[in-house]
Amino acid sequence: MRVGRALAALPAIRSAFAAGEISYSKVRAITRMATPALEASLVEMARYATAAQLELIVREHRKADPARGGRPSPAIVTATCAPGAISTARW
């Protein structure tokens, strides 16, 4: 139910899911942190990352989010994925 309510306000994620571009597991993960401002980036990330990778990203984001009482870690890294790019990160 949480995912369905979130999709009502996130048209880019809803469209990618409806088109079969991203799986339900990926949608479930990214809707935990999605906002209209982040939506396009999250859809792009979901096209290339596995559901498990997205779960990890979301979990770490939530731990570092000051709005949720978290503190950013000095080890936080921002990455941008381009279509066709393959990248690996160690944290």
Number of other CB atoms surrounding residue 19 within 10 Å = 8
Whole-number percent of the chain with pLDDT over 70: 73
Is the full-model pTM beyond 0.75? no
User: Looking at residue 85, what is its pLDDT?
Assistant: 57
Q: At residue 65, does pLDDT exceed 80?
A: no
Phi-psi region for residue 42, left (φ > 0), alpha (ψ -120 to 50) or beta?
alpha
Rg over alpha carbons for the chain, rounded to the nearest Å, is: 13
- Report, as an integer, the average pLDDT of 8-18: 95
User: Looking at residue 60, what is its pLDDT?
Assistant: 87
Kindly indicate the confidence band of residue 63, based on its pLDDT and cuts at 50, 70 and 90: confident
